[in-house]
Structure formats: C-alpha cells, structure tokens
Amino acid sequence: MAHSPLRQAVPASALVSLLALACNNPPPVTIPDPPQVTVRLEETSTVGRGFKLSISTSGCDQVQRLELFNDTTRIKQVPYGGNPTPVELARDEISYAQGLAVPLSLSARVTCADGRTNVSQGQVATFFPVEEVVEPATANTQVVPDYFVVDGSGNSVSFIGCAMDGTRPFLYRVDKSNPSSAQRVEINFPCDATTLITDRKPAGTGTRWVWTPGRGLLSLDASFKVIYSTNAAVENLVVAADGNAFIYNVTGLYLVTPQGQVRWSREYTGAANPLPGRPAGDPVHITSGTQAGRVLVPLREEHTETVNLRVVVLDYATTDPNGKQLAQYEIDELNPIQAAWTAFNDTGTVMYLGTQQQGSATVRACALGQTKPCQSTYPQSRLWISDPIPGALAALIPYANNNRLAVITSNRFWFMDVKRNSPTESRIINKDQQALTPTGALVGRFAQPGKDDAFFMFNSAPGTSDVPNPYPVEIVATDAAEQGLLYRYQIPGGLSLYGALDDAGTLWMRAGRKLVKPYSLTEYRQLR
C-alpha cells in the first residue's frame, strides 16, 4: 500500500532539530533611527534683498532630497551642500499672499537615499524685502544718524542728520556712494530726539533749517554750509516757499532770512499792532491763486469763559518791520478746554479745523474770506463738517495734491476726501471704513505723506517721563487709503527705524544700523 509523503518516517535526530527551530523566534528586524534636520536663521528679522539661513542634517548615509517649507507650503528643493547647507531665499521665492513682512514658520524636510525622512521644527522669521541695502562699516556704527533728511535722488543721494559725539553736537552728511567718509560740521546747540531738519526750499537748491525746540536753530545751504546760527529759544519754525523761516518764540512771530535778518515781526503784546492771539497752528505762505503773497496765521485768544479762534492774514513781502495785516477772519468760539488743530489748502481758500470732543473729533472745512464764522448757521462759511472720528486728534495733514486730508489720532490713522465737489467730499475713505493702526500699544510718532496717494506712519512706544520721545520701531504704509494697509514692518530687539523721502519721492529707511531703499509701493502691491 502506498503512503503519503507526509507520513513517511523521519529520523529522530531530524525531529529534534526541527523542534528546536520551532521553539526559537527569529532575530528582530533592526529599524534605523530617522534622520535629524535643523534650520538655523542668520537673523530672526531681516530687512534685505534676500533671507539667509542654513540647514543641517544627520543620520543619512546619503541625502537624497532636502526641501524648505513655510508652514505646510513647500518653498523649494535645496541642493544638498554638506553640513550646514547655506540657503538664501530671494524675494520672489516667498509668497506674500498673507502680507508683506508677516511671520514665517520655516522648516526643512530631509529624505535619505534609503527612503527615511524627517521634518525639522519650525523657526519663526520675518522678511521685509527691499531693493537696496547699505551696511555699516563696523558692527558698532550706523550708516546715517537716527533722524535724517535726503538730498538728491537715484544714486546721487546724500543723507543729512544731527548727532552727538560725546558732548559735542554735529551735523553729518553721508553720501550713499561713500558712506564711510561722512562730512560733519560742529554746531552750537545740542541734538536730541526733538531736533528737526526742514525740507529744502526752494526744492533742490534752497535752504534747510535745523532746530532744537528751546535750544537753538541754524540755516544750512545746499553745499552743507551753515549760514546763520543762534541759541535763541524757538518754540516753532516753519519754512516759507523761498527759504525764509517763520519763527515763533515767547514774544511773537518773526520772518527771518537764512542770513538771520528779521524781515518783519508781529508780537503778542506791547507792540503797536499786536497779534490778536497766540498760535493755534502753523502759519502758511500762499504762493498761488487769489491769496498769493499772503501769510495765513491761525490764532487763539483765550478768555475766562471762551476761546476765540481766528485767522489773521499778513502781507508776506511787506517792508514794514512791524508787519502788515491785510485781513482778519473770525472762525469760531470754543470752550476753553477744547483742543483744536488747523491746516490750510494750498491756495489759502479753505481752512480745516479739527476739534476734540470726549472720545472723538470732528473736522470742518471753513471758507476763508467770509465775514461770518465757521458755524452751522452760515453754510457759506462752514462748507462741511465730518461725522465723529474716533480717537484723540493729533494732527491734520493735507496731501495728495491737497485732495486728501490725513486725520491723525494717537493710535488711528484716518484719510478724508477733501476735493471740492467730489461725491465723497468730507467723508472718510479708508478701506472698509477701518482706520490704519499701530501694532498693540504703539502710537503714531511721525507722519510722512508720499508720492500721489501714498502715506507712511512711523510708530513708537508711548512717551514716558524718562523717555518722552521714543524712537520709532514700526512703519505702516498705504499706497492709497481705499486700498488699506500695504505693509507693516516692526523692527525687533531694541532697535529703531526711521524714513525720509528723496527729491524724487522715493523712501529711504534706517533699519537699525543699516540704510535701506524699499521697493516702490507699486512693486510691493504687485508682490501681494
């Protein structure tokens, strides 16, 4: 009878061997550890043409692929270049769909040749792309003074600012083409965070004035030569179109030439023809239209129960040393504790008057030349009044060829259409009716109208008794009020920033110790 092979006899020794195999588990499969990868940032916040970092890996016999991500979005594959692998991200390799200079979360993924892979922890970084960067000569110097103005345009620009060298104050001029060899001239009054340098008038060839409130002033010609200097205690200084300066001090208003000659003056008291009030805003020299050749001086005369707000019109070119008054317009009667701000259009036909209520302000347009005050009962005098605007009013600034008015409060920036007979005249035109604001507890420190409809704000911490005038740490920019915020950049780590426009309207910015030229607002809008 035939037998199945499974039932064939097996030698005893073979049985023992098979049983032994059945009772011992096979050795475990060894699974290699995943590779390690880390991202190291050269700076956590970069203002520059590119953004530098490095990627380090370990645990791969051979790296097959290295990739860089922003959060979960792949930026690019990085050619492996050893440990560490340097990486520089160019402007156009980053998406700005969420905004310019917004925080990035950068991570890397490494894949070994055997297929193992791992992802690094994210590193938070900020990148603000700019067109040009001028680095300081050493780590302990900076390219330009903290605050500066710009002469020229393009590659032929220079930067003028005031700074202390120990206890000695100097004016500096830094050429972009040779930033390590600055010119400087010692001056006879101190520089501090309140020192101001005016625009050059006439533009390009005229005079700048430099002054520190209460400490002194000087005039500076286009060749960086001091023409006139004094330690007079100046309260305010405004430059006329021809380079002369309107100077307020405790006694009155003076028109002073760059050589220091007083053309005329109008004192508050004691003179034959005193000014009927104290300054309520900057005087304005009108050079076009029916008011050409006149000076508009806003004044407030305080009484126990009321404050009379008025505008006095003076003859700019008079040879009378006591000045010549041409007209006086009564604007309104205010509460003594009610704050007011003034501004004028370029032809001197409209005054903008901002008045503060408890938690908001209103702005009205007053037609100059009328015999009646700027009140609701006289529509020929009060052209319009705005709806209440939230915030504590800080400034009114006409811009955009006098078609718009920036209404600046301490922590909100509003923009109003003031073009005559426009369908939206007197209305706020911010995008979605939302103010531009500083970040967090920051407040507006400086306002800078730009070309066309552009506007920049430089924001700082609030002033304190120890630091009454903090340096700005944030820039906020819009290319048009209706477009809303274009970009916001805040510099970290105890550094500060500041910016000014050159003769072509291009922004230059000090970012910490370096100097940068941001892209045009049109280019930033295209990036977004």
Kindly provide the b/e burial profile for residues 329-357, where b requires at least 16 CB atoms within 10 angstroms of the residue's own CB: bbbbebeeeeebbbbbbeebbbbbbbbbe
8-22, 267-281, 468-482: segment of lowest average pLDDT: 8-22
Can 36-131 and 134-187+278-527 be said to share one CATH topology? Answer: no
pLDDT of residue 528: 86
CA distances from 99 to 404, 465, 525 (A): 26, 36, 10
Right CATH number for 134-187+278-527 from 3.90.320, 2.60.40, 3.40.50, 2.130.10?
2.130.10
Domain 36-131 indexed as CATH 2.40.30.10: no
Instruction: Delimit the domains of the chain by residue range.
Output: 36-131, 134-187+278-527
pLDDT tens across 250-270, in order? 899 999 999 999 999 999 877
Task: Tell me what percent of the residues of the chain surpass a pLDDT of 90.
Answer: 87
**Res 362 pLDDT > 70:** yes
Amino acid at 79: P
Question: What's the chain's average pLDDT?
Answer: 93
Beta strands 514-518 and 63-70: pairing type? unpaired
- Tell me what the mean pLDDT of segment 462-489 comes to: 97
pLDDT of residue 113: 96
Distance of alpha carbon 240 from alpha carbon 419, whole angstroms? 24
Please give the model's pTM, rounded to 2 decimal places: 0.90
List, in order, residues 6 or more apart from 389 with CB less than 8 Å away: 360, 361, 362, 363, 407, 409, 414, 428
Amino acid at 238: V
List, in order, residues 6 or more apart from 29 with CB less than 8 Å away: none
Distance of alpha carbon 467 from alpha carbon 452, whole angstroms? 35
**Res 444 pLDDT > 80:** yes
- Tell me what the mean pLDDT of segment 89-110 comes to: 95
Task: Tell me what percent of the residues of the chain surpass a pLDDT of 70.
Answer: 95
pLDDT of residue 24: 64
